[in-house]
Amino acid sequence: MPLANPDAQVRINEIFYSLQGETSRVGLPTVFIRLTGCPLRCTYCDTTYAFTGGKNMSVAGILKRVAEYAPHYVTVTGGEPLAQKNCLPLLRALCDAGYAVSLETGGALDIGEVDARVMRVVDIKTPASGEEVKNRWENLALLTQHDEIKFVLCDENDYEWTKKILLQHHLTEKCAVLFSPAHGTLNSTQLADWILRDHLPVRLQVQLHKLLWNNAQGH
């Protein structure tokens, strides 16, 4: 496992303090560390500004900035955090500092080297995302009850496809599964009705931060 080198450099797009808008930790005050860059181009992406820009920061500098907020929860997100090799020592350093750490990853890259203390939130790409072929299915065997799987759904075809994936890979037996309607594309009530109709043991999430701040950057 990569050492938590305090001098390791990470390209950071933004660091901010807000309420967690997704996952089982929704509503909890959290520091978000958004890394720059992503190899995917999902049709519904709401953080295209993170594809480029940002500035290099050392792991030690990031920890100092995070500590200013005195948080309990820290989320490393993107872009795609795992596209940067020094994301791994950053995650380890955050865990060593005593934070409850989660990682939001697009599911196209290997999650096997992520520190076991990190809650890995793996986004499986649906057909309407335009990036279905990039899913790294080998990641599913690495998931534990500590992790979570997320599907962003754009339409009924995505929903039916996702149901098949749930059954094929026994996903709800591996960890919590989250269904999120693509903002402005799929009505959340419609998705809720489908979940209830089919008795799916999944969690519907409606992205709290978008309801509160309309997806403003820094929230």
Q: Residue 184: its pLDDT value, please?
A: 86
Judge whether residue 3 has pLDDT over 60: no
Strands 55-58 and 9-19: antiparallel
Task: Tell me what the pLDDT averaged over the chain comes to.
Answer: 94
3-state secondary structure the chain: CCCCCCCCEEEEEEEEEEECCCCCCCCCEEEEEEECCCCCCCCCCCCHHHCCCCEEEEHHHHHHHHHCCCCCEEEEECCCHHHCCCHHHHHHHHHHCCCEEEEEECCCCCCCCCCCCCEEEEEECCHHHCCHHHCCHHHHHHCCCCCEEEEEECCHHHHHHHHHHHHHHCHHHHCEEEEEECCCCCCHHHHHHHHHHCCCCCEECCCHHHHHHCCCCCC
Judge whether residue 213 has pLDDT over 70: no
Q: Residue 4: its pLDDT value, please?
A: 66
Q: Residue 110: its pLDDT value, please?
A: 98
Judge whether residue 36 has pLDDT over 70: yes
Judge whether residue 40 has pLDDT over 60: yes
Instruction: Give the residue, 67 or 214, on which the prediction is more confident.
Output: 67
Q: Residue 209: its pLDDT value, please?
A: 64
Q: Residue 183: its pLDDT value, please?
A: 84
Check: CB of residue 23 under 8 Å from CB of residue 175. Answer: no
Torsion 171-135-18-182 (CA) sign:
negative
Q: Residue 207: its pLDDT value, please?
A: 74
Q: Residue 6: its pLDDT value, please?
A: 86
Please state, in angstroms and rounded to a whole number, the distance separating the CA atoms of residues 167 and 145.
17
Judge whether residue 211 has pLDDT over 80: no
Determine the average pLDDT of the residues in 152-162.
98
Query: Which domains are seen in the chain, by residue range?
Result: 9-213 (3.20.20.70)
Instruction: Give the residue, 218 or 192, on which the prediction is more confident.
Output: 192
pLDDT band for position 109 (cuts 50, 70, 90): very high
pLDDT band for position 99 (cuts 50, 70, 90): very high
Q: Residue 32: its pLDDT value, please?
A: 97
Check: CB of residue 179 under 8 Å from CB of residue 195. Answer: yes
Determine the average pLDDT of the residues in 78-101.
97
- Summarised one tens digit per residue, pLDDT across range 46-60 is 899 999 999 999 999
Judge whether residue 153 has pLDDT over 90: yes
The residues near 50 (Cβ < 8 Å, ≥ 6 apart) are 13, 14, 34, 35, 36, 37, 38, 78, 79
Judge whether residue 219 has pLDDT over 70: no
Q: Residue 217: its pLDDT value, please?
A: 64
Determine the average pLDDT of the residues in 84-113.
97
CB atoms within 10 A of CB 94: 27
Prediction pTM value: 0.92
